[in-house]
Amino acid sequence: QQQVKQSPQSLIVQKGGISIINCAYENTAFDYFPWYQQFPGKGPALLIAIRPDVSEKKEGRFTISFNKSAKQFSLHIMDSQPGDSATYFCAATQSGFQKLVFGTGTRLLVSP
C-alpha cells in the first residue's frame, strides 16, 4: 500500500513534443505529491508539487494533473526540450509524516 507505481520506465520524445509520465498510488492518506528531476550524477531537484484539493497545477511548461478518485497523477512537459532529458521521479507523502515514497523513475530523452 506504500508503493507508488510509475510508468513508463523510459520515454523518447521529439523536441517540441509533449512528455507524459504517469503515477498511481494506493494509500489514500497521501496528501502531497511532488515531482523531482534528476540529472546523472546529481541529486534530485524539486520540480513541481500538488495537493489533492486541486486537479491541476501548472508551472511554466510543467503541469501536474491529479485524479483523486482514480488515485493517479501525471506530469506533462509541454514543448519538450533536449535540456529536459533527465530522470523524473514522482513521489507521495502524508503531511507531517514527511517520509517520501518514490516511484521507480522515468528516463526521458528528448531528441533534437
Partner 1 sequence: GAVVSQHPSRVICKSGTSVKIECRSLDFQATTMFWYRQFPKKSLMLMATSNEGSKATYEQGVEKDKFLINHASLTLSTLTVTSAHPEDSSFYICSANRDYEQYFGPGTRLTVT
Residues 74-93 that bind partner 1 (CB under 8 A): 89, 93
Asked if 46 is part of the footprint of partner 1 (rule: CB under 8 A), the reply reads: yes
As a three-state string, the secondary structure of 54-65 is: CCEEEECCEEEE
Asked if 32 is part of the footprint of partner 1 (rule: CB under 8 A), the reply reads: yes
Handedness of CA 75, 77, 82, 84 (dihedral sign): negative
Size, binding site for partner 1 by CB under 8 A: 21
Asked if 49 is part of the footprint of partner 1 (rule: CB under 8 A), the reply reads: yes
Nearer to partner 1, 35 or 74 (CB): 35
DSSP β-bridge partners for residue 73? 23, 66
